[in-house]
């Protein structure tokens, strides 16, 4: 029986198209707001934080802006005093009601930052209190695991990075291709069943990617943990090489994610070969034909350049996670112990009445 999560995964081509239609015209306002800013600070938690990881790489690579991920506790607990007058602060929250993110945005504004909110609800506190709101058009998302709202956030950070990028190098044409690529992946011959078989037996699992797709690897690991109740490590290729690779053995399943081009592809192929020599079973997502040949099984990714590939690379993993949860007798729409809005421990003196935060 199909789940709400599966339905929302399949809504993504339309949700992505609506979001791009809504946000691409706002690039001029983003540029004007960011004029004079030296760096960008991204504020998020959970799935939104993984979208922020993609944004950080894209801002550095495409836009050539210094970018970093915020530690919200600096605002919510440590009350750090910091001059942010030349900083663009971008806050991401699907609901726009995450207490910790709302409070951090307010802290940033009080310290001189210019603020952009990325949320799926234009009437939310985060959106209404920002200097500029990039409101995604994913539509209501009822399943607890973020799927279409996450993909819409990726589109929003890509639009923001494009607005701050050099003239003559717009990502618009590539972004406009993403909805059709998601539709193509949804219509492709189904290899998800084979991926579920590979992952069916509980086993030590790690997910790895690098660069622009590192956030995708982290999001896949998060989805497996929250939806399939499986302990998973999400590691960058570089971090995996610096020690954790020593624990790889025939009991381990590795999920490797790669764009079909770009400077990280060759390293991901080498990693797949190395892990295979150590006895691990490899599920690849994306990559090219050589990458596919180095994996035990490969789920095809989108035909998109590396800069925007994460908008499509997450979809095969979402389909696999949803099917794996059902295979294990779990409800993918309502993972155990989770709700759509997740509490983050705030200073009791600043916690709102419902104390709720989403991812």
- pLDDT, tens digit, 9 for 90 and up, residues 7-31: 999 999 999 999 999 999 999 999 9
Q: How far is CA 324 from the centre of its chain?
A: 20
* E-assigned strand segments in the chain: 39-43, 66-69, 87-92, 114-119, 132-135, 205-209, 232-236, 253-258, 281-286, 297-299
Check residue 247 and give its pLDDT.
80
Assess if CATH 3.30.70.141 describes domain 4-184: no
How many C-beta atoms lie closer than 10 Å to residue 12's C-beta?
28
Check residue 216 and give its pLDDT.
98
C-alpha to C-alpha distance for 265 and 262, rounded to whole angstroms: 6
C-alpha to C-alpha distance for 328 and 282, rounded to whole angstroms: 21
Side by side, which strands form the sheet with 87-92? 66-69, 39-43, 87-92, 114-119, 132-135
Q: Give Cα separations from 266 to 106, 169, 237, 281 (angstroms).
A: 43, 25, 12, 19
Would the pLDDT of 352 be above 70?
no
pTM comes to 0.94
Would the pLDDT of 201 be above 90?
no
**Top-confidence residue, 305 or 237:** 305
**Which range among 45-49, 130-134, 238-242 shows the weakest confidence by mean pLDDT?**
238-242
Check residue 350 and give its pLDDT.
38
Fold of 189-327: Rossmann fold (3.40.50)
pLDDT single digits (tens) 229-277? 989 999 988 888 887 888 888 999 999 999 999 999 999 999 999 999 9
What's the pLDDT band for 342 if we cut at 50, 70, 90? low
Check residue 341 and give its pLDDT.
59
Question: Which uninterrupted H or E stretch holds 27?
Answer: helix 27-34
What's the pLDDT band for 281 if we cut at 50, 70, 90? very high
Domains of the chain: which residue ranges? 4-184, 189-327
Check residue 340 and give its pLDDT.
65
pLDDT single digits (tens) 150-171? 999 999 999 999 999 988 899 9
Judge whether 4-184 and 189-327 match in fold: yes
Q: Can you read off the two tokens belonging to residue 20?
A: 């791009």
């Amino acid at each position: 029986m199909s789940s709400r999560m599966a339905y929302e995964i399949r809504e993504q081509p339309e949700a992505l198209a609506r979001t791009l239609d809504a946000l691409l015209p706002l690039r001029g306002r983003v540029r004007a707001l960011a004029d004079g800013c030296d760096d960008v600070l991204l504020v998020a938690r959970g799935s939104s934080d993984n979208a922020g990881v993609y944004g950080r790489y894209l801002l550095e690579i495409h836009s050539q802006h210094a970018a970093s991920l915020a530690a919200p506790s600096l605002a919510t607990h440590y009350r750090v005093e910091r001059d942010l007058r030349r900083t663009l602060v971008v806050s991401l929250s699907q609901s726009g009601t995450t207490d910790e993110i709302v409070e951090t945005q307010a802290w940033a504004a009080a310290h001189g930052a210019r603020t952009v909110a990325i949320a799926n609800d234009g009437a939310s506190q985060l959106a209404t209190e920002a200097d500029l709101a990039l409101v995604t058009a994913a539509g209501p998302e009822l399943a607890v695991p973020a799927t279409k709202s996450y993909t819409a956030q990726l589109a929003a950070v890509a639009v923001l990075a494009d607005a701050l990028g050099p003239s003559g190098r717009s990502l618009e044409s590539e972004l406009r291709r993403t909805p059709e690529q998601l539709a193509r992946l949804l219509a492709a011959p189904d290899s998800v069943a084979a991926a579920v078989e590979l992952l069916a037996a509980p086993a030590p699992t790690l997910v790895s990617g690098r660069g622009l797709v590192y956030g995708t690897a982290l999001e896949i690991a998060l989805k497996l943990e929250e939806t399939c109740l499986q302990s998973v490590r999400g590691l960058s290729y570089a971090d995996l090489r610096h020690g954790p690779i020593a624990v790889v053995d025939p009991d381990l399943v590795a999920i490797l994610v790669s764009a079909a081009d770009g400077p990280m592809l060759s390293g991901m192929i080498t990693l797949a070969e190395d892990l295979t020599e150590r006895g691990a079973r490899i599920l690849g997502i994306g990559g090219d034909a050589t990458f596919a040949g180095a994996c035990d099984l490969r789920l095809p990714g989108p035909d998109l350049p590396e800069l925007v590939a994460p908008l499509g690379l997450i979809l095969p993993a979402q389909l696999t996670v949803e099917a794996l949860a059902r295979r294990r007798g779990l409800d993918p729409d309502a993972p155990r112990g989770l709700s759509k809005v997740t509490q983050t421990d705030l200073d009791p003196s600043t916690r709102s009445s419902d104390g709720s935060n989403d991812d």
